[in-house]
Structure 1
């Protein structure tokens, strides 16, 4: 547990060869936390990999904490971790929200990044969220979109994203719990090529039970434009010059579609875009995990000393 200020303590672990190439893995969400299998993306003989749960996520404390939890805080936390281990540079790997944080960190501290491997590129913009939930959702899952809107009172349906985030952040459990469950279930369907179900269980939305912290931290970030200026990551993509990279993209990713990765690759000449057919958003879709592992090894071979 590493104290980073403002009452936050981060869960941090290292894996692999202490003499190997330094690397860091950035989980998604924001708010999801690292998983055991994320360690296996890195060859333990070749890499010394750091995994950590971001503020409020996973095993970090306080769990679900949103105070002093912004993108600049997370970037500063990465620098704290890097200095703690004495790394001059490290290979930065992230998927979905992890790709957002990876890009923001690399653009803030390009001299500290030996290479980048991104999966399911997300630039943290309002437009991407509107595309996922207000265009792709009704286009591909019209009945689920009706369920998604139906959770909201009629007057709030004209601006459903703002309504969801406002409700999820409401202190009253009767308000935030159904909205958080509906958000998680809908996001889950959009993340899968073949979801097990494609409707909301309206009865389950009001059931008592533990809730993940992810929708609460996501609502906190999304309602604040991920604490970035509009189009910040593309506008500052020139700062990635000289950093080798691989972008892994599922062809049928409805949350983070290929157009986003394509726009980034057009501005970052050292990046190789690798599109995986018949795959969507998830790390465990066919071909995605293997492509990320291959990307990590390939970028390591090209990485800056």
Structure 2
């Protein structure tokens, strides 16, 4: 990854009576524009996200989605859907006077990248995606009900501990009640447990520093509440919508590189493979020694290689 840099511009974009979004721009003012779409939903951007791009070649734009990161109000679920976020990305493009840009997204960011590109295919130059997630019921069931639990049994036991045993046949719905509870203690305990489960399972080798993020109440509250809100609502999409032929046909012409960890248990490789089957024109790299995180060495190397190759398109 490239050396750390600082933004040369930061700003806010009011997108509704409720939501004001934070964005920043770094790199080359005259470079090829790229929009970074963070994960979660609710994860927010990190300063390290700038480093996937050559700052001499790219105008690097980071956007905190509704309720996430530095956008306000934090953790807000009102007027917060996939299609609200798609409209927000377009508003930012128009605000910045950009005709077409590159789109980069991992995990939920890959979901949003696909939804945005399918909505505005004429505005996307290229796509670099990682850890493909299309929010199908089968994907949610694997991570939150019966799948990853077989690989991380001790972490799973900790994850389901806040949920009364009779409610454990639908973990996502049970968590929804607690994450929206009236009292702060219940809500924050659930948020920390939800977030810790994802942080624990995101790398091939568990990273204690990443797990510790779950103890940060503000981050955990936004991350858990917004993720869960999207998941109980099926992403506000038809099941499998992003993989439907008529949707893929809209973006088939866009150059796209996908980087996928072989041992990603949050967004398993089967989804990236399903995308490749309906969109054979993409380049799919499966990293043999990686999990879900964008910053595992093999994954980061391939992501940077892809952005370097697309810089002049």
Given the two structures, how large is their TM-score scaled by the length of structure 1?
A: 0.91
- What residue number does 1:40 align with? 51
- What residue number does 1:153 align with? 164
- What residue number does 2:303 align with? 292
Q: CA deviation at 1:107?
A: 0.6
Between stretches 257-266 and 130-139, larger displacement belongs to 130-139
Given the two structures, how large is their TM-score scaled by the length of structure 2?
A: 0.89
Secondary structure of the 1:11 match is strand
Mapped to 1, the partners of 2:152 and 2:116 lie a distance apart of: 35
- What residue number does 1:142 align with? 153
Secondary structure of the 1:135 match is coil
Q: Deviations over 1:244-270 (max 9, x none)?
A: 000000111000111110110122233
Long gaps (5+) in structure 1:
none
Spell out the pairing of 1:1-305 with structure 2 (5 A cutoff): 1-195=12-206, 212=220, 213-235=222-244, 236-301=247-312, 303=313
Mapped to 2, the partners of 1:11 and 1:247 lie a distance apart of: 27
- What residue number does 2:9 align with? none
Q: CA deviation at 1:133?
A: 2.5
Secondary structure of the 2:140 match is helix
Secondary structure of the 2:62 match is strand
Q: Deviations over 1:205-254 (max 9, x none)?
A: 9x996552100111111111111111110012222110000000011100
Mapped to 2, the partners of 1:179 and 1:187 lie a distance apart of: 13
Between stretches 112-121 and 178-187, larger displacement belongs to 178-187
Secondary structure of the 2:174 match is helix
Mapped to 1, the partners of 2:93 and 2:179 lie a distance apart of: 33
Mapped to 2, the partners of 1:135 and 1:263 lie a distance apart of: 20
Secondary structure of the 1:249 match is strand
- Check 1:134–1:208 CA distance in 2 against 1; reply closer, same or farther (3 A cut): closer
Q: Deviations over 1:64-105 (max 9, x none)?
A: 122111111100000001111111110000011111100000
Q: What RMSD in Å do the two structures reach over aligned CA positions?
A: 2.0
Count matched residues.
296
Q: Deviations over 1:142-161 (max 9, x none)?
A: 23323333321122112222
Long gaps (5+) in structure 2:
1-11
Between stretches 230-239 and 243-252, larger displacement belongs to 230-239
Mapped to 2, the partners of 1:33 and 1:106 lie a distance apart of: 20
Mapped to 2, the partners of 1:299 and 1:245 lie a distance apart of: 9
- Check 1:10–1:152 CA distance in 2 against 1; reply closer, same or farther (3 A cut): same
Secondary structure of the 1:275 match is strand
Q: Is the 8 A contact 2:188 2:217 kept in 1?
A: no
- Check 1:146–1:131 CA distance in 2 against 1; reply closer, same or farther (3 A cut): same
- Check 1:91–1:181 CA distance in 2 against 1; reply closer, same or farther (3 A cut): same
Mapped to 2, the partners of 1:281 and 1:253 lie a distance apart of: 4
- Check 1:211–1:10 CA distance in 2 against 1; reply closer, same or farther (3 A cut): closer
Mapped to 1, the partners of 2:148 and 2:115 lie a distance apart of: 27
Between stretches 146-155 and 175-184, larger displacement belongs to 146-155
Q: CA deviation at 1:194?
A: 1.8
